[in-house]
A and B are shown apart, each in its own frame.
Chain A
Amino acid sequence: MLTQRLMQQGASLVELMISMLLGAISITALGTLVAHGIGLNSQLIAIFRFDAEVDAVMAMVMTDLRRAGYRQLSVYEPNTRGIDQGQVMVPDITLSSYSSELANSCISFAYDRNKNGRLDSDFGNEYLGYRLHNNSIEIRMSGLACSAPKWQDITDPKTLSIETLTFTKQRSASSALFSIKLTVHLQANSIAYPGISRQLTRTVLVKNHER
């Protein structure tokens, strides 16, 4: 009789349901944890993308500004390629802004990118610049003025919103020449996570001096 009772013992349906419920709760908890991990990963990736974009655009602007005024001089044929010696090494950096944007949020300059001794204004225009417009940083096209439309944006308005972009120019005399320091202040907000923002202030010494 005792043997028979033992063989008959097992989990009842209620016990089974309870154990399944506990299992389901555990799986749900684990699932929530995984979902949280995926969400956190997405957030981190969005922040990395935001940082990468801000850093890349800042690096691009700063290296470009450092070259302002550069012109290649050929020692062998100085007068045959239209080189105006009087204008050599003049950065000619101008600050202004596009209509209703912040003051000094547009910078224009030029340098001899292809090292042909001239500042080209046709294909591969060498009159360059950057400005703030519609919460994006734009790059100057075809030597257009700061007040002109149709510059090309170089930041993704769906990833970041540029709140501030200002340029400051410092001129300090050293003998007959003036050395130029340019300070760029940038503040950007993430679109996906509006609470995340970055402020950068970088200063660059322009390699060419002004007269």
Chain B
Amino acid sequence: MSAQNTSGLTLLELLLVLSITSVLLLLGAPTYQTLQAELQLRAAIQVSYFALQQARSNAISQGQNITVAFQDGGDWCLGLSDAGVCQCSQFKNCTLAGVEHTVRRLDYPLVSLENLKFGKEKIAVFDGIRGVAAGHGGSAVFAAGNTKLRLILSHFGRIRICALTTDRAGYHKC
């Protein structure tokens, strides 16, 4: 009885516990990474959605054309401008009333922007009369891992988000 009380953990038992813990962590790590990527994807597309809504609201309230400039590739970004076409990759180049309005990959490193369909100039313009984007409708795909979400702007200024292949990340299939 006394021997039982004084016996401690053997090295073998400790190694066993550590190896089980490691296996569990290794199994959980990819899931965590996927979750993190999906959260970043949702954040990136939602922030972009609200940026477009802001452009639309600003166009109506200020009565002037608001341009949304996109840039795809490794250093993707989008920016809002009340002074025509701008370069969102440049610091303080896309501004509304002097205040910079951009969404950049820097804040969402696991997310990529692809299939940009906003014409040659890669811009969307909300007109200052009705807040519509006549002639500037288009779409862009935000991707992280296997999840791809599409941001769609109609010619009438309606902004939608949908999932590319199947219902994902809280969005319906396109």
Contacts and interface: CB of A to CB of B under 8 A. Distances in A.
Contacts of A52: 50, 53
B131 A45 contact: no
B24 to A, nearest CB: 10
A182 B136 CA distance: 31
Given A45-B46, A49-B49, A156-B160, A38 B8 contact: no
Interface string B114-158: 000000000000000111100000000000000000000010111
Contacts of B57: 55-56, 59
Given A16-B17, A154-B156, A60 B60 contact: yes
Given A5-B6, A45-B46, A153 B158 contact: yes
B8 A12 contact: yes
Contact of B156 (A10, A152, A159): A152
B4 to A, nearest CB: 8
B157 A154 contact: yes
Contact of B60 (A20, A53, A63): A63
A113 B129 contact: yes
Contacts of B8: 8-12
Given A59-B60, A60-B60, A64-B130, A12 B7 contact: yes
A158 B39 contact: no
Contacts of A46: 170
Q: Which DSSP category, helix, strand, loop or mixed, fits chain A's interface?
A: helix
B9 A56 contact: no
Contacts of A99: none
Interface in B32-85: 39, 42, 46, 49-50, 53, 56-57, 60-61
Interface in A1-32: 5, 8-13, 16, 20
B107 interface: no
A161 to B, nearest CB: 14
A13 B17 CA distance: 10
Contacts of B168: none
Interface of A: 5, 8-13, 16, 20, 38, 42, 45-46, 48-49, 52-53, 55-56, 59-60, 63-64, 67, 113, 139, 152-156, 158-159, 192
8 contacts: A13-B9, A16-B17, A49-B49, A59-B60, A60-B130, A60-B157, A158-B172, A159-B160
Interface of B: 6-9, 13, 17, 39, 42, 46, 49-50, 53, 56-57, 60-61, 129-132, 154, 156-160, 162, 170, 172
